[in-house]
Amino acid sequence: MTCILAVVLLTGCMVGPDYRKPDGTQELTISTTKHSGVQLENKDLSRWWAVFNDPLLTSLIKKAETGNLDLKIALARMREARAIIGVVDSGLYPVLDANGSIGWGKESESVTPQATSEQTRYDLSADASWEIDLFGRVRRSIEAATADYQATWEDHNDVLITVLAEVASNYLRIRTQQAQLQTSLANIVSQGSMLKITKVRYENGLATYLDVAQATQVLTSTEADLPVIRTALSQNITSLSVLTGEPSDLLRNELQQVHITPLPPETVTVGIPTDRVRMRPDIRKAERNLAAQTARIGIATADLYPSFSLTGTFGFSALNSGNVFNSKSQVYGFGPSFNWNIFNMGKIRQQIEVEDAKTEQALHQYELTMLKAIKEVEDSLVGYHEQRLRFEALQASREVLDMSTKLYKDGLTGFQNVLDAQRSLLSAENNLDLARGNTSIQLVGLYKSLAGGWNTQQNNL
């Protein structure tokens, strides 16, 4: 009979709503506009940085994967959440405590006349209790803890995607700033030469002092840009140091040799946006948060019902150590018990309302996360496409300046034409350096929006 009762109790129903995954991911709609240079085909993006064919970038990515502290914090949160599942899961099983004691004492002779001497007492016992999860409070708690753990897994993946994209973006900015620095230095040499020519022509009466002053102003203006570029360059190196966990001095040595900013090929394959968005960890995390919160409604609802427990104790108690394990020294007792918060129903129902409202918030947060993801993908597709067009439009040569300088030396054109050409060249070359770097950075942003940078494996407990 006891076994039958136990089976009935163990197979009790779970109160509260059963979780169903929202249908939102089935209704994803992303713009189907085609962009030149971007192919929307299935592709593994777990190592998207290989498209730049830059060994140093790949090396920095690997360092970040093992040395980034945000990733280590995320991993620690995962271990914490996994351990919490074990803590909650233990509620399904009996609790067994062992106790033992030896005590010396004497009772009052006024109360117990025969207590004339000190006595030694030996006690050894084991206590057991088991709360029967009749209405699913513990099982709902396990559901919530499991979903929380899975959410931390997705959070780790989201951190990984962000960190790797930031490493690549910082690296590309560093290469862009190095290119700008070289461009400015080359222009300073060119403008310095032009200033010398102008001074010679002024001394020979072939140019005015205004020509000299203007040539000087162009040169000093370019020189004034150098500290700004060097400051930004240093800041990006220290940012990269934080991302990779590597000292900035080592990074400076690695980056000392200047290389042109890497560009992707003219056509890149980035996957199918709707499929990639479904794999985004931020969306999966929001969905797991919703699942956890739904389970908490059941946890709160279970408090409306009584909780049943089985308790028992067995042990030995004797005044002589030789009699401790004697059958006459046995002490035991067992029986069922229940607890019911009858007078707290109003409070419990309000707590259920609280969990219902939190679940509604979690649902809307999931929907909002999805909308933001779609926006990020669409913006990144357009941003990369347009930036690529800008870069192609800005590519030019030094022919205009070379021709103007030659004509000026030959006395066939005015000095203003040379100054205008120099200013235009510096601006054009700086814009070209920026456009080249921003083209690659925009592609990094596109890969990030499409959840590139991890192997999309499912986490199984």
Q: If you average pLDDT over every residue of the chain, what do you get?
A: 84
Q: Look at residue 405 and give its three-state secondary structure.
A: helix
Q: What is the pLDDT of residue 234?
A: 94
Return the percentage of the chain with pLDDT > 90, whole number. 45
Lowest mean pLDDT among 148-152, 201-205, 446-450: 201-205
pLDDT band for 400, please (50, 70, 90 cuts): low
* pLDDT at residue 183 greater than cutoff 50: yes
pLDDT band for 357, please (50, 70, 90 cuts): very high
Sequence ranges of the domains in the chain: 12-93+134-305+346-449, 95-132+306-339
* pLDDT at residue 399 greater than cutoff 60: no
Burial class (CB in 10 A: 0-12, 13-18, 19+), 285: buried
Better pLDDT: 91 or 61: 61
Q: What is the pLDDT of residue 26?
A: 54
pLDDT band for 124, please (50, 70, 90 cuts): confident
**What are residue 328's phi and psi, to 5 degrees?**
-75, -15
Return the percentage of the chain with pLDDT > 70, whole number. 85
* pLDDT at residue 409 greater than cutoff 60: no
Nearest-CA neighbor of 454 among 150, 163, 38, 242?
163
* pLDDT at residue 269 greater than cutoff 50: yes
Better pLDDT: 396 or 53: 53
pTM equals 0.83
3-state percent helix, strand, coil for the chain, nearest multiple of 5: 65, 10, 25
> In angstroms, rounded to a whole number, what is the distance separating the alpha carbons of residues 456 and 279?
7
* pLDDT at residue 100 greater than cutoff 60: yes
Structure tokens belonging to residue 105: 């004492």
> In angstroms, rounded to a whole number, what is the distance separating the alpha carbons of residues 182 and 371?
42
Q: What is the pLDDT of residue 455?
A: 64
Q: Look at residue 303 and give its three-state secondary structure.
A: coil
The 3-class SS string of 188-240 reads HHHHHHHHHHHHHHHHCCCCCHHHHHHHHHHHHHHHHHHHHHHHHHHHHHHHH
> In angstroms, rounded to a whole number, what is the distance separating the alpha carbons of residues 376 and 449?
6
CA angle (307 as vertex; 303, 309 as ends), nearest 5: 155
* pLDDT at residue 270 greater than cutoff 60: yes
Q: What is the CA radius of gyration of the chain?
A: 37
CATH of 12-93+134-305+346-449, one of 3.40.50.140, 1.20.1600.10, 3.40.50.2300, 2.40.160.40: 1.20.1600.10
CB 120 within 8 A of CB 102: yes
* CATH 2.20.200.10 for domain 95-132+306-339: yes
> In angstroms, rounded to a whole number, what is the distance separating the alpha carbons of residues 86 and 96?
17
Nearest-CA neighbor of 151 among 64, 86, 85, 91?
85
pLDDT band for 460, please (50, 70, 90 cuts): very low
Average pLDDT in the 449-456 region? Answer: 80
Bridge partners (DSSP) listed for residue 121: 103
pLDDT in tens, 30-43: 777 888 888 888 88
Query: Looking up tokens 């908490």, which residue turns up?
Result: 296
Better pLDDT: 196 or 457: 196
